[in-house]
């Protein structure tokens, strides 16, 4: 029994590598199973499209019916919590580690939370300790350094809330 547990622990890092060998949009259920085997917690109906890079899959939680698009980077050390029905755009980066002082060995690990029904655009960077509120939206290419309140739309580097007049124009254009 001890040898089986040892083999499983040795095989886990290769599970995330194996997801890169799968076709981009096919075999989603196999990709999810491999990521689960690697240590990630992925609830039912969640979709993980394309390959993901996870430095510590055990820190990643993907909620029910959440959607994670291709080529996202999850830099662990602290929990990355993607709640139910949240959507993460392609090539987004979620980083939970930060240098705290002049010495590069002084590190802090702060969790990231993406609440239910939040929408994260393509190429967004989310910094350590940030919470994206439910029903919030982050525009593509934004860098989120502070918490985003629920029902808020943010854009830019650093991400800032959009004025209500811009939100109305964007909503009418989407209708």
Q: Which residues are catalytic?
A: 99
Cα 116 from Cα 66, distance rounded (Å): 8
Query: E-assigned strands of 38-111?
Result: 41-42, 47-48, 53-54, 60-62, 67-68, 73-75, 80-82, 87-88, 93-95, 97-99, 107-109
Order of all β-strands in the sheet with 80-82: 41-42, 60-62, 80-82, 112-114, 131-132
State residue 63 phi and psi, 5-degree precision: -75, 175
Show the DSSP H helices in the chain as ranges: 2-19, 28-38, 164-174
C-beta separation of 86 from 106 below 8 A: no
């Amino acid at each position: 029994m001890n040898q089986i547990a040892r083999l499983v622990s040795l095989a886990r890092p290769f599970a995330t590598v194996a997801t890169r060998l799968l076709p981009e949009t096919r075999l989603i259920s196999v990709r999810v199973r491999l990521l689960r085997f690697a240590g990630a917690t992925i609830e039912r109906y969640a979709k993980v499209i394309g390959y993901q890079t996870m430095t510590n899959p055990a820190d990643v939680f993907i909620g029910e019916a959440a959607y994670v698009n291709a080529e996202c980077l999850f830099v662990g050390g602290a929990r990355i919590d993607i709640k139910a029905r949240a959507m993460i755009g392609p090539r987004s980066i979620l980083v939970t580690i930060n240098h705290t002082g002049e010495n590069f060995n002084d590190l802090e690990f702060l969790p990231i939370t993406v609440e239910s029904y939040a929408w994260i655009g393509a190429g967004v960077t989310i910094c350590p300790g940030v919470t994206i509120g439910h029903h919030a939206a982050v525009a593509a290419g934004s860098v989120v350094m502070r918490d985003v309140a629920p029902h808020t739309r943010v854009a830019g580097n650093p991400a800032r809330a959009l004025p209500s007049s811009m939100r109305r124009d964007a909503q009418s254009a989407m209708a």
